[in-house]
Amino acid sequence: MMSSGFWSMGGYARFVWPCVGFTGAVLAWNLWAARRHFAAARTRSARALAMAASDGA
Amino acid sequence: MWTWFYRLASPPYVYWVAAAATPWFLSLSVVAIGYGLIAGLVFAPPDYQQGDAFRIIYVHAPSAWLSMFAYTTMALAGGIALIWRIKIGHAVAAASAPIGASFTVAALVTGSLWGRPMWGTYWAWDPRLTSELILLFLYVGVMALRPAFEEPGRGDRAAALLSIVGVVNIPIIHYSVVWWNSLHQGATVARLGVPKMPGSMLWPLLSMLLGFMLFYGAVLCIRLRGEVLNRERQSAWVREAIKA
């Protein structure tokens, strides 16, 4: 099935594969950005807790 | 029922439930999207009119569906937060906005690439395309409005109001192909009676739709945890959450 016919998508390869690639990139970006957002929130919270602890000491 | 409702709104409860749900959503989405892509791109037969170009539907339709679903979730969460003053609703709305916006871009780009061989143009001011573009502007507006106020509560309320007003665009997007003359094809799956597609084309599409929904659930859970931490930084339970 993985013949040149499959990759050429019946002559529509230049439309089909960019669509698949772009959507894959959007999926990957969402996962990366969400993890980054969470990690940043965690760091900010840890910093705020550390500052509160040092103020209390 | 109300006890459950208010427990569901508790930030630490939401934080831990989201943490537990994320790997399930993510692994199930990988299975569903994997099956949908292989079955849709490799095994589904070409369309009798569009040939292999129809396979763009397997990434375009789930993206477009998710763009509307994420917006509806955002507006509902904003409405719940405004009516019942449940703060977690604003956190859900804030977490949903960038996900929905990114899938709106995906729907517009893949739709444009599909339009070129089928309609002869990348873009037309067609009712479906224009209303989807308005959805993107609404997302951008909601995301820009939230941090535009010095007091975070006011930003949350303003963003919730805009998202509620903008939800009127969702039925316009869906029914635009029915109400007006449109280049865009009519509903394929979400129509009364039997879907237009044969099973060999339909099941991969349904699997992709499910996979995208599960992926949205996973990413929403991750973002929601970040939003909860940002909003509850001063709370005692956050100390335990950070250590975990």
- Residue-wise pLDDT tens digits, B171-195: 999 888 888 777 777 766 665 566 6
Count of domains in chain A?
Answer: 1
Question: Among residues B186, B98, B188, which one has the least CA distance to residue A37?
Answer: B98
- The answer as to whether A48 is a domain residue is yes
Query: What is B25-235's CATH number?
Result: 1.20.120
What pLDDT score was predicted for residue B94? 96
Tell whether the model's pLDDT for residue A1 goes beyond 60: no
* pTM attached to this predicted model: 0.92
Asked if residue B30 has pLDDT above 70, the reply is: yes
Cβ–Cβ below 8 Å for B53 and A15 = yes
B244 against A44, higher pLDDT: A44
Do the chains contact at A20 and B233, CB–CB below 8 Å? no
Within a domain: residue A54? yes
Q: What pLDDT score does B151 carry?
A: 87
pLDDT tens-place string over residues B50-72: 889 999 999 999 999 999 999 99
Residue A49 included in any domain:
yes
Q: Is ipTM strictly over 0.95?
A: no
Chain A interface test: which of B103, B219, B235 (most A C-beta within 10 Å): B219
- The mean predicted confidence, pLDDT, of chain B is 91
Chain B residue numbers with beta carbons less than 8 Å from the beta carbon of A6 are 42
Task: For residue A55, tell me if it sits in a domain.
Answer: yes
Measured between beta carbons, which residues in chain A are less than 8 angstroms from residue B226?
Answer: 34, 37-42
Return the pLDDT at B185. 74
CA distance A28 to chain B (A): 10
Domain assignment of residue A36, given as a range: 22-57
The contacts of residue B84 (CB under 8 Å, 6+ apart) are B9
Q: Parse chain B into domains and list their residue ranges.
A: 25-235
User: Taking CB atoms and an 8 Å limit, are A20 and B59 in contact across chains?
Assistant: yes
What residue in B sits closest to A41 (Cα-Cα)?
A: B226
Give, in degrees to the nearest 5, the angle at Cα B209 between B79 and B92: 25
